[in-house]
Amino acid sequence: MTQEEVTNGATVEKTFTVSAFKTQLIVEAQKVGEAVTFYKSVFGAVETGHSLYPKRKADQELPHVLSAELKLAGSTFVVSDVTAHSGSNAKVEGSNMAFILETDDVEAAVAKAVAAGAVGSMTVGEVSEGETEGGAKGKVTDPFGVTWVFTFPEKKTDENKENKEV
């Protein structure tokens, strides 16, 4: 990617490289810790780092986690407190984004998420090929308003390989 900079009347092109792409989930104020616990217990996410709110009073038992970085199935995402992002609204549910997780047991994944407080918004079942590349899916909305779709891994066929090479 490039950006132009003008120096002494001459245009000089500056380049930069993107080294990572991370999704950021913004949750309600003081809910990062709960969200991290949910994602770790339900999906098996691993916390790789976090930052604490710097003005937390010493007499309060639990630290206020401002943001945390999690790793799930080889991808990294960040869970952040809405107060760290002025102008954000964490309560906008269905904000045109959902996460798809491939799993070997869709029914068990949905059941575990629901047992931990998620709301099932679609029963597990067979779906048409156009809806998901898996073949069965279940969908839940977690206690923080994030939608998660569970599917079986895509079956590898010669036709799929040809379509991906285009």
Give the pLDDT score at 91: 57
Taking only the tens place, the pLDDT of each residue in 33-66 is: 999 999 999 999 999 999 887 776 666 666 778 8
Q: Please report the pLDDT score of residue 87 as a whole number.
A: 52
Q: Could you give the CA distance from residue 24 to residue 5 in angstroms, rounded to a whole number? A: 30
Which whole-number Å values give the CA distances from 69 to 19, 38, 118, 120, 121, in the listed order? 16, 14, 21, 26, 27
Average pLDDT of the segment spanning 68-85: 87
* pLDDT of 86 above 50: no
In the chain, CATH 3.10.180.10 sits at: 20-84, 91-166
Give mean pLDDT, residues 116-139.
67
Architecture of domain 91-166: Roll (3.10)
pLDDT at 130: 45
Looking at 38-47, 99-108, 117-126, which range is the least confident one? 117-126
Confidence band for 28, pLDDT divided at 50, 70 and 90: confident
Domain 20-84, CATH: 3.10.180.10
Full-model pTM: 0.69
Distance CA 48, CA 33 (A): 14
- Mean of per-residue pLDDT scores for the chain: 77
Three-state DSSP state, 29: coil
131, two tokens: 């809806």
Q: Is the pLDDT of residue 13 over 80?
A: no
What local confidence, expressed as pLDDT, does residue 59 receive? 60
